[in-house]
């Protein structure tokens, strides 16, 4: 089934691919806590995506670009993973 969830930012809808949305959901569910690259890889495996950690980095980079200036940011915690936090 198609993923029908929509994300809205300050300036209207934010276009995310189903994979990007899946990664962002995992980060949102764990806001304020570090999510490892391995956990994000497992999250994408739920979509039958067999990917590596480099691909996770690409998705996080794309999501960061798309959600900037919307009151949240994805912070890299070196050696651990990523953290979604509220900025304002």
How many CA atoms, within 13 angstroms, populate the side-chain half-sphere of residue 15?
0
3-state SS, residue 80: coil
Count Cβ atoms below 10 Å from residue 55 Cβ, excluding itself: 16
Average pLDDT for the chain = 87
18-53 residue pLDDT tens: 889 999 999 999 999 999 999 999 888 887 777 888
H or E stretch covering 6: none
pLDDT tier for residue 5 given thresholds of 50, 70 and 90: low
pTM of the model: 0.84
- Cα–Cα distance between 28 and 5 in angstroms, integer? 14
């Amino acid at each position: 089934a198609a993923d029908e969830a929509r994300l809205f930012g300050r300036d209207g809808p934010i276009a995310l691919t189903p994979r990007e949305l899946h990664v962002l959901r995992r980060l949102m569910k764990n806001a304020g806590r570090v999510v490892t690259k391995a956990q994000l890889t497992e999250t994408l495996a739920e979509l039958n995506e067999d990917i590596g950690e480099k691909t996770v980095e690409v998705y996080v980079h794309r999501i960061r670009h798309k959600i900037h200036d919307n009151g949240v940011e994805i912070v890299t915690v070196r050696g651990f993973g990523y953290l979604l936090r509220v900025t304002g």
